[in-house]
Amino acid sequence: MQYFNRKWNVKLRSILTLTIALSFFAVPLSGQEKTDTKNDGYQQLFDGKSLEGWSGNKKIWSVQDGAITGETTKDNRIKANTFLIWQGKPLEDFELKLKFRISGNRANSGIQFRSVDKGNHVVGGYQADIDITGRFIGILYEERGRGILAQRGKKVERSAEGKSKVVGTTMDEKKFKEKVDPKKWCEFTIIARGNHIVQKINGITTVDFTDNETKKAASKGILALQCHVGPPMKIQFKDIRLKRLGSAEKK
């Protein structure tokens, strides 16, 4: 009986040691990105209550009503576009989903991706555009670069020489305006694989762009949110989810 108890105690200690070891390796190391395996591999970039993991002008950016908020007023203006920059690893091939809403006369904003941090919360690069007038929302723009790369509703191919050619359409403008009201919460999706970029708002493809201008096309860069210079405005973002795409998904 004593032999049996000693044997069982040895086995029990071995099991406990193995369990502790496995638990240790299952905990992500400090500073590593965490993905939500229960949500198709998307990583949550905003905790809903703070700007942890983001860097920007604290006079402009805050958290209001559970959303990242960029706001200017008559007494709190900006002299140039300013950005809230995510501090995670640069984006390469990815799929980004977030919700946004915007208010204010001539309010304008955007989502920077594969972009460059130029210092002092200034960013240049690809931008998925947002505005309240309906003129620019959904287009692909390059901040501090080539300007408008693709208008809303267009499938565009840009040549190595920098010439853009419309090769198709992606949506019906009337249906887009019926389904998208930027003053209410809308979902923006950005998918980038290699030199191919697709943008969607509320499931409607607004841009399909292929960038063959290799001297200026970006394959890697930062993620940032824009607050635009001009009249008082407010832009809000929430439910920000990022999924990095591996080589198997590029095919």
Question: pTM of this prediction?
Answer: 0.84
Cα–Cα nearest to 164, from 118, 213, 129:
213
In DSSP terms, 61 is beta-bridged to 70
pLDDT confidence tier of residue 224, bands split at 50, 70 and 90: very high
- Tens digits of residue pLDDT in 55-111: 999 999 999 999 999 999 999 999 999 999 999 999 999 999 999 999 999 999 999
Q: Whole-angstrom Cα distance, residue 152 to residue 228?
A: 20
| pLDDT on residue 246 | 83
| pLDDT on residue 7 | 46
Q: What is the rounded average pLDDT for all residues in the chain? A: 88
Q: Sign of torsion, CA 21 25 31 34?
A: negative
pLDDT confidence tier of residue 39, bands split at 50, 70 and 90: low
Contact between residue 187 and residue 98 where contact means Cβ atoms under 8 Å apart: yes
Q: Whole-angstrom Cα distance, residue 187 to residue 128?
A: 12
* Mean pLDDT, range 219-229, rounded to an integer: 98
User: Of the CATH numbers 1.10.10.60, 3.40.710.10, 2.30.40.10, 2.60.120.560, which one belongs to the domain with range 34-250?
Assistant: 2.60.120.560
Indicate whether 123 pLDDT > 60: yes
* Mean pLDDT, range 43-55, rounded to an integer: 98
Name the amino acid, one letter, at 201: I
Cα 246 to chain centroid distance, Å, stands at: 17
- Burial tier of 232 (Cβ tally within 10 Å: 0-12, 13-18, 19+): middle
Domain ranges of the chain: 34-250
pLDDT confidence tier of residue 227, bands split at 50, 70 and 90: very high
Q: Whole-angstrom Cα distance, residue 92 to residue 89?
A: 9
Q: Whole-angstrom Cα distance, residue 59 to residue 77?
A: 10
| pLDDT on residue 250 | 42
* Mean pLDDT, range 153-165, rounded to an integer: 98
pLDDT confidence tier of residue 211, bands split at 50, 70 and 90: very high
| pLDDT on residue 40 | 85
Write the CA distances from 91 to 88, 192, 200, 223, integer angstroms: 9, 9, 18, 7
Question: What does the DSSP assignment read for 58-83?
Answer: TTTEEEETTEEEEEEBTTB--SS-EE
* Mean pLDDT, range 239-251, rounded to an integer: 76
